[in-house]
Amino acid sequence: MALLAALINLDGRPHYVQSGWFQISLANLIVVLVMIAVFALAVTLKFPGHEEPVAQEEVAGDE
């Protein structure tokens, strides 16, 4: 635990990323980027257990 805490020092000054009027803390930026990465993986990665093609009729919409 102490090792983990030593890795990220929370007692120092926070880091910020700035571009003109736009400013975000590094911690928030990392969270946003990880969320976008998780979203991209969720849309692209194959869902397990659905190898065999299933009848196409089921896909028909109810619009």
Q: For residue 29, give the nearest of 40, 17, 37, 21 by alpha carbon.
A: 17
Smallest gap from Cβ 8 to other proteins, in A, equals 14
C-alpha 8 chain-centroid distance: 20
- Closer to other proteins by CB, 20 or 42: give it: 42
Instruction: Give contact residues for other proteins (rule: CB under 8 A).
Output: 31, 34-35, 38-39, 41-43, 45, 47, 49-50, 54, 58-63
Between 23 and 62, whose beta carbon lies closer to other proteins? 62
DSSP 28: H
Residues, the chain: 63
